[in-house]
Amino acid sequence: MAKINKLGNIIACCPGCNGSTSTFEYMYQGKELGSTIIKSPKPYRRFNEETDTQFRLYRCAGCGMGGLGCVTMHAEGVRYPDGIHESH
């Protein structure tokens, strides 16, 4: 299972690196690769609270293969990677 670190990078097995564990970065050459943000119900919500769910592009630091991550933030409007709640 993939894990996200404090820098916002994903640690997971990469098919392009023959299944070895690699770091998938959300930035390349100082720029974010891309993301789309949607509003979704907050986990364990009260009174219809919402949070941001971000679909982000990642790149394997080893071979350059792309990846897509779905990241749930703690609240609406928080910046990535500071407000990460969980990733899928």
pLDDT of residue 47: 62
**Where do the H-state alpha helices sit in 1-88?**
none
pTM passes above 0.95: no
Query: Which three-class secondary structure string do you get for 14-60?
Result: CHHHCCCEEEEECEECCEECCEEEEEEECCCCCCCCEEEEEEEEEEE
Task: Count up the domains in the chain and report the number.
Answer: 1
Domain that holds residue 62: 3-87
Query: What are 58-80's pLDDT values in tens digits?
Result: 999 999 999 999 888 877 777 78
